[in-house]
Amino acid sequence: MSEQITIEDFEKVDIRVGKIIEVQDFERAKFPTYKLKVDFGPEIGTKQSSARFKADYKPEELLNKQCLAVVNFPPRNIAGFSSEVLVLGIENLNGGLSLVRPVHEAKLGARLY
């Protein structure tokens, strides 16, 4: 079981809806990875992310899909690439990753509560 947190701890994590607008191979990454550009709407803008979805998705399967991402982590340098947001994924039944996304189309930049 994971460590318990308070509602105040959870409220510090800023999870927003974005739309993947660009997908590129990330050859320098240690694991099968893509470089993503994600549009979060006018308030946050476009951010980039390193995401380990390459083994589970072709680029065209991610392009123009909405996703959920943590937008308030500091940028992280991954093999010389500045990953600005953490696009969320969960383990699927086959042991791979599934992109976490809204069931219905959502407003870009909408916050998860």
CATH of residue 64's domain is 2.40.50.140
* 40-76 per-position pLDDT tens digit: 999 999 999 999 999 999 999 999 999 999 999 999 9
User: Count of domains in the chain?
Assistant: 1
Mean pLDDT value across residues 89-99: 95
Residue 60 included in any domain: yes
Rounded-to-integer distance, Cα 92 and Cα 97, Å: 6
Q: What is the C-alpha R_g of the chain?
A: 14
CB neighbourhood size of 81 (10 A)? 18
Give the pLDDT of residue 45.
Answer: 98
Look over the chain and give the mean of its residue pLDDT values, rounded to a whole number.
Answer: 96
Residue 6 included in any domain: no
Find the Cα–Cα–Cα–Cα dihedral 24, 47, 75, 100, rounded to 10°. -80
Residue 15 included in any domain: no
Q: Look up the domain containing 28 and give its range.
A: 23-99
The string over 101-110, giving b where at least 16 C-beta atoms fall within 10 Å of a residue's C-beta and e elsewhere, is: beeeebebbb
Residue 110 included in any domain: no
Give the pLDDT of residue 5.
Answer: 95
